């Protein structure tokens, strides 16, 4: 209660609830203005204002500021609040707090193939399952996109946390029905513990993130606890990223070429350009190691341009030497294809190198086609108009939705090496290869097998009607001079011009 002073004009206000005769209440703002006569307090004027609308607006603002609109879950600011509270509480009581970061597996694919509305429905369903999967006092928040976070307060030990993580994962076991279709999704979960891993809240989140990344790398749909080692990995990644950024300007990239051979006669018909990186300390780093990082960081775009230009220049040289039938396959990452100016860039490189466009084949991945977006489609058409051909790399490892083979302007299918490897021993692989060849035939697509290492594999591929192959059996990837030497000894087909 406010006591008015002699000279003050203080006005006292507070919010109260007034009750109607029927028993319902409504919020009011109560104001009392003191009245003085000859300097003496003689009374006050009291007013009540109905502030229901104001209160509603306030609640709405609060909701907007602290909750995610789509799922109704707490958002990042509220999550952070709850985490601070949980940590303060844990400090007093000597218990643990677990932070779980959770990223849906394959969400992007679902979103892109089924549409954003379906994606939204999926997120809502997941939100509900997560909320039902934790205890009353725990927080489930949506941090944005397909990323969720949990604060598990007052944990007695790690076993309980493990158990809860397992429980969260099990929420993904049942399919989710969206637009009459059953969709399966999993989650990659990273867990960090206060105070075991760190007492710093920022680091706690960072550690949970590293652990989540690790969960993704270890095959998805699993959870990982943070470990010291992960920070080391993250640091190594950051180092790799910095090195990669400089690699182009320092001329550390070069190309190797692996011959592609016609299965019937063993003659070289083309080569595939494979990127190599010799870093500052002279070590050669495998593309499997740096291409994913280059994709993530967007560095693949300038690097990819360099690869295409270098490969075109090299092919032009070989054509000019007389190997006019030789083709060149170049790997193109999905990220490159999604660049709006990709088609124009290819046209520019073709023009600048004066290469024969029809001798260039771009290798794309299944996942790119699965995204099924208009932009990609247009870019593919653009490439075709330029005269280049298109192949699907690593065929069979992705979602293998065969309908896109028909829908997109493709020329060739590359059977992934994982099917070739056990061709002689695994009857399933033989059946898969047979199916891919038959399907490609019926769609009038050429077929090439990769990773052929033994005569036995080659014989089987031949008998299945596979046109061409690539693999250590014939030759490993090699530098341009070695390719030339190989061409010189490789029979007439590939040297038509100079033989004439």
Asked if 71 interacts with ligand C2E (CB under 6 A), we say no
Q: Which residues from 442-481 bind ligand C2E, rule CB under 6 A?
A: 450-453, 470-472, 477
| 74 vs 270 by CB, closer to ligand C2E | 270
> Which of Mg ion, ligand C2E, none interacts with 164 (beta carbon under 5 to 8 A by kind)?
none
Binding residues for ligand C2E, total number by CB under 6 A: 24
Asked if 339 interacts with ligand C2E (CB under 6 A), we say no
Q: How far apart are the first and last CA of the chain?
A: 108
Helix (H) or strand (E) holding 28: strand 25-37
Can you tell me the distance from the alpha carbon of 471 to that of 484, in angstroms, rounded to the nearest whole number? Answer: 18
Site string for ligand C2E, 303-332 (x = CB under 6 A): -x--x-----------------------xx
Can you tell me the distance from the alpha carbon of 321 to that of 408, in angstroms, rounded to the nearest whole number? Answer: 34
- Residue 230 C-beta: closest distance to ligand C2E, Å: 25
- Residue 412 C-beta: closest distance to ligand C2E, Å: 13
- Residue 402 C-beta: closest distance to ligand C2E, Å: 20
Can you tell me the distance from the alpha carbon of 244 to that of 304, in angstroms, rounded to the nearest whole number? Answer: 13
Can you tell me the distance from the alpha carbon of 475 to that of 259, in angstroms, rounded to the nearest whole number? Answer: 7
Q: Give the position of tokens 């799922």.
A: 71
- Residue 164 C-beta: closest distance to Mg ion, Å: 40
The angle formed by the CA atoms of residues 161, 165 and 167, to the nearest 5 degrees, is 115
Judged by CB under 5 A, the residue of 224, 260, 331, 353 near Mg ion is 331
Q: Which pairing describes strands 96-104 and 187-194: parallel, antiparallel, or unpaired?
A: antiparallel
Judged by CB under 5 A, the residue of 138, 309, 363, 468 near Mg ion is 363
Q: Which residues from 141-160 bind ligand C2E, rule CB under 6 A?
A: none
DSSP letter for each residue of 213-242: HHHHHTTSSEEEE--HHHHHHHHHHHHHHH
> Which of ligand C2E, Mg ion, none interacts with 286 (beta carbon under 5 to 8 A by kind)?
ligand C2E
CA dihedral 313, 316, 322, 323 (to 10 degrees): 90
- Residue 482 C-beta: closest distance to Mg ion, Å: 19
Cα 270 to the chain's mean position, in Å? Answer: 32
- Residue 416 C-beta: closest distance to ligand C2E, Å: 7
The answer to whether 314 and 353 have CB atoms below 8 angstroms apart is: no
412: nearest Cα among 432, 431, 386, 384: 384
CA distances, 219 to each of 172, 297, 375, 401 (Å)? 15, 21, 30, 21
Judged by CB under 5 A, the residue of 394, 411, 446, 453 near Mg ion is 394
Asked if 291 interacts with ligand C2E (CB under 6 A), we say yes
Q: Which residues from 430-469 bind Mg ion, rule CB under 5 A?
A: 450
Helix, strand, or coil (residue 471): coil
Helix-strand-coil split of the chain, %, nearest 5: 45, 25, 30
Judged by CB under 5 A, the stretch of 26-34, 76-84, 230-238, 325-333 that binds Mg ion is 325-333
> Which of ligand C2E, Mg ion, none interacts with 192 (beta carbon under 5 to 8 A by kind)?
none
Q: Give the position of tokens 């050669």.
A: 284
Judged by CB under 5 A, the residue of 146, 209, 309, 393 near Mg ion is 393
**Interacting residue ranges for ligand C2E, rule: CB under 6 A:** 258, 274-275, 286-288, 291, 304, 307, 331-333, 363, 393-394, 417, 450-453, 470-472, 477
Residues lying near Mg ion in the complex (CB under 5 A): 331, 363, 393-394, 450
């Amino acid at each position: 209660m406010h006591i008015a002073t002699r000279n003050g004009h203080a006005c006292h206000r507070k919010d109260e609830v007034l009750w109607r005769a029927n028993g319902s209440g409504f919020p009011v703002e109560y104001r009392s203005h003191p009245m003085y006569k000859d300097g003496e307090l003689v009374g006050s004027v009291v007013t009540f204002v109905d502030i229901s609308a104001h209160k509603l607006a306030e609640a709405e603002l609060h909701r907007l500021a602290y909750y995610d609109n789509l799922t109704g879950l707490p958002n990042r600011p509220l999550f952070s609040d709850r985490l601070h509270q949980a940590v303060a509480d844990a400090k007093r009581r000597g218990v643990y707090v677990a932070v779980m970061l959770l990223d849906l597996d394959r969400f992007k694919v679902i979103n892109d193939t089924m549409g954003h509305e379906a994606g939204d429905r999926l997120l809502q369903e997941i939100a509900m399952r997560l909320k039902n999967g934790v205890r009353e006092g725990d927080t489930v928040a949506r941090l944005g996109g397909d990323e969720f976070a949990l604060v598990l307060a007052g944990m007695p030990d790690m076993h309980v946390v493990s158990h809860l993580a397992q429980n969260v994962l099990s929420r993904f076991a049942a399919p989710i029905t969206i637009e009459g279709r059953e969709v399966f999704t999993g989650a990659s979960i990273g867990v960090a513990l206060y105070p075991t891993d760190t007492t710093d809240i920022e680091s706690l989140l960072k550690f949970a993130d590293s652990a989540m990344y690790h969960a993704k790398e270890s095959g998805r749909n699993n959870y990982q606890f943070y470990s010291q080692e992960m920070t080391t990995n993250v640091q190594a990644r950051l180092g790799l990223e910095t090195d990669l950024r400089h690699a182009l300007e320092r001329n550390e990239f070069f190309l190797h070429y692996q011959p592609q051979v016609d299965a019937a006669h063993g003659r070289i018909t083309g080569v595939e350009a494979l990127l190599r990186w010799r870093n500052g300390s002279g070590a050669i780093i495998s593309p499997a190691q740096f291409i994913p990082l280059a994709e993530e960081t967007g560095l693949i775009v300038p690097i990819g341009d360099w690869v295409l230009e270098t490969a075109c220049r090299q092919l032009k040289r070989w054509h000019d030497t007389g190997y006019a039938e030789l083709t060149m396959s170049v790997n193109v990452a999905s990220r490159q294809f999604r660049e709006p100016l990709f088609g124009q860039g290819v046209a520019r490189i073709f023009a600048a190198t004066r290469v024969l466009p029809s001798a260039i084949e771009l290798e794309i991945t299944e996942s790119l086609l699965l995204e099924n977006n208009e932009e990609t489609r247009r870019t593919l058409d653009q490439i075709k108009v330029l005269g280049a051909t298109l192949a699907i790399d690593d065929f069979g490892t992705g979602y293998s939705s065969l309908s896109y083979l028909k829908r997109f302007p493709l020329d060739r299918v590359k059977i992934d090496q994982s099917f070739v490897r056990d061709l002689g021993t695994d009857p399933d692989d033989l059946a898969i290869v047979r199916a891919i060849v038959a399907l490609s035939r019926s769609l009038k697509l050429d077929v090439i097998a990769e990773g052929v290492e033994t005569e036995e594999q080659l014989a089987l591929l031949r008998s299945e009607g596979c046109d061409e192959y690539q693999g250590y059996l014939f030759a490993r990837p090699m530098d341009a001079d070695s390719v030339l030497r190989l061409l010189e000894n490789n029979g007439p087909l590939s040297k038509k011009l100079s033989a004439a």
